[in-house]
Amino acid sequence: MERCPVDSQPIVALDPAWPAMSIAEAEALLTAPGQKFEMETVTIRGVPTRVWKNSPPHLRALIEAARAYGGLPFTVYEDERVSYDANFRAIAALAAHLAALGVGKGDRVALAMRNLPEWPVAFFAVVTLGAIVVPLNAWWTGAELAYGLADSGAGVLIADERRHQCLAAHYADLPGLRHVLVTRAAAPLEGAHALEEVIGNPRDYATLPDRPLPAAEIAPDDAAGIFYTSGTTGAPKGALGTHRNMATNILSGGFAAARTCLRRGETPPEPTPRSMLLVIPLFHVTASSAVMMGAIATGSTLVFMRKWEPVEAMAIIEREKVTMTGGVPTIAWQLLEHPERGRFDLSSLESIAYGGAPAAPELVRRIHAEFGALPGSGWGMTETMATVTTHSGEDYLNRPESCGPPVATADLKIMDEDGTRELPSGEIGELWAKGPMIVNGYWNNAAATVATFVDGWVRTGDIARIDEEGFCFIVDRAKDIVIRGGENIYSSEVENVLYVHPAVTDCALIGIPHRTLGEEPVAVVHLAPGSTASEHELQAWVGRHLAAFKVPVAIRFVAETLPRNANGKILKRDLKGLFAEEAAA
């Protein structure tokens, strides 16, 4: 294994008095006995594990407690505004209907729709019964959706009209699917029932009867959801998340914010309701497990939009006084560089956070300089049900290439290629993670579970290093390393150099076959509007910063930002066709 490069320098001038305390000192204060973030050790799947002592025991307790927010808005979608009280009424009504259909503990109910007010209603109606929700990727084809339904064994599907239409030709091949509820259907339904017949439309939720949730016994480590991975090889695997996994994110997010305050020398404030423009799909764990759970716990508002469009997003930020948004770095770049940005009042923004893809240090600096907002990032994966590390404020500005240190309940280690030896600080290897956020394994896939989960640890497949203070640096995905003549080229290293070039706003490094070297690095680049750069110029730019063998042998320019999956990861396999001539040679 190779040693890491020298840590990057701060990208803005920081207060000489910062940090007021070390990471370890802040953690000790926040987790002391009697404090909000106190921890205790419990046994999970036979492994002693640190957990948040004050975490909600399960998601049913969370949503019942959140009803106290009453008339505060929970979701906003166009002109539809649903309060916390109205949302709870709809959850209780739908839960009662599902119970009447025979749905009980351990049964699977699939959810296939874009971000709508009905999405969290359906989600909580399922999990409060002790049943298992199966959020399916709304970007999938009909065949892919049918795979998720068959693999999970879902007996009930709750879908929007578009997903229902995609599945129409596949229902006959799904004998285990007994009931289908469809929302916002414009045409008469065949073989399905309208969700509105059960709970009305979102404007009606406030008029629904005030009733309790149907009775259910739920333990913290009971299964709550099956989230399918976005793997690029083989069939998607269903990560089996628990109530504890998802509830853990609430205090993990609060802990991270409090740690940032202490590092700044400030007393952490009590959480207050905020307005969040959510553009990440809710079927992704970042949106549902990290963002939505934290929003509910603090009485915050989730603002949805039909699809990402920068001008519409800026209008929403102005109208709804949005304090937080983000998702993937591309969204932040588009907000920064849009020519109509000056037309809108974006001064309410306090934080622009993202994950799912590495961000250029230049983006971190510009968010802080041009919006006056604090950049935020972190690391997690479907198998960790979201948050493991967090990065924000001065720590992010100081280490822009890191994804931050782990939250107090998580452990990280770097292992060698064989997974038999832990590597010392600073060395590069595979990242392993442990904590109460690690899922139970893969649904109906014992072989993959055994290969990935080891004594409470998950083998992430990410190549990373950890510095002396515990900050994690994701170097690459194991399968994305370009190996040129036996030399490892980490794509993020080259991409970060390209991102620093003033003309580059989106890029990816990939490997193409080479007869003698095995692979060679090539790059795909999207330039900022109005900017120009040539292949030779960018190759020279990389060559001034990195070893010659890391310089892309070819660069292709594309008019649009690079294709990504719903989780924000660039679809590198879709880019290789741009280099057919080089690969053939």
Tell me what the mean pLDDT of segment 101-127 comes to.
Answer: 98
Q: What is the per-residue pLDDT across 298-336, written as a single tens digit (0 to 9) for each?
A: 999 999 999 889 999 999 999 999 999 988 777 888 898
CA distance linking residue 272 with residue 223, whole number of Å: 30
Query: What is the pLDDT, as a whole number, of residue 486?
Result: 65
153 touches 132 (CB < 8 A): no
According to DSSP, the residues that pair with 23 across neighbouring strands are: none
Quickly state the pLDDT bin for 4 (edges 50, 70, 90): very low
Terminal-residue alpha carbon distance, the chain: 32
Q: pLDDT tens digit string along 218-236?
A: 999 999 999 998 654 467 8
Tell me how far the alpha carbon of residue 427 is from its chain's centroid: 26
pLDDT band at 359 (very low <50, low <70, confident <90, very high): low
Distance between CA atoms of residues 252 and 256, nearest Å: 6
Identify the structural domains of the chain with CATH numbers, from first to last.
23-55+239-477 (3.40.50.12780), 63-70+84-218 (3.40.50.980), 481-584 (3.30.300.30)
Rounded distance between C-alpha atoms, residue 391 and residue 376, angstroms: 6
* Mean pLDDT score of the chain: 91
Cβ neighbour number for residue 581 with a 10 Å cutoff: 9
Alpha-carbon distances of 40 from 33, 54, 386, 435, rounded to whole Å: 10, 9, 21, 12
pLDDT tens for each residue of 278-299: 998 999 999 999 999 999 999 9
pLDDT value of residue 7: 40
pLDDT at position 2 is 31
205, pLDDT greater than 60? yes
Q: Is the peptide bond before 19 cis (omega within 30 degrees of 0)?
A: yes
- Does 3 have pLDDT greater than 50? no
Place of tokens 């030779």: 536
**pTM value?**
0.85
- For residues 23-34, give the mean pLDDT: 98
Cβ–Cβ < 8 Å for 340, 315: no
CA pair distance 365, 207, nearest whole angstrom: 47
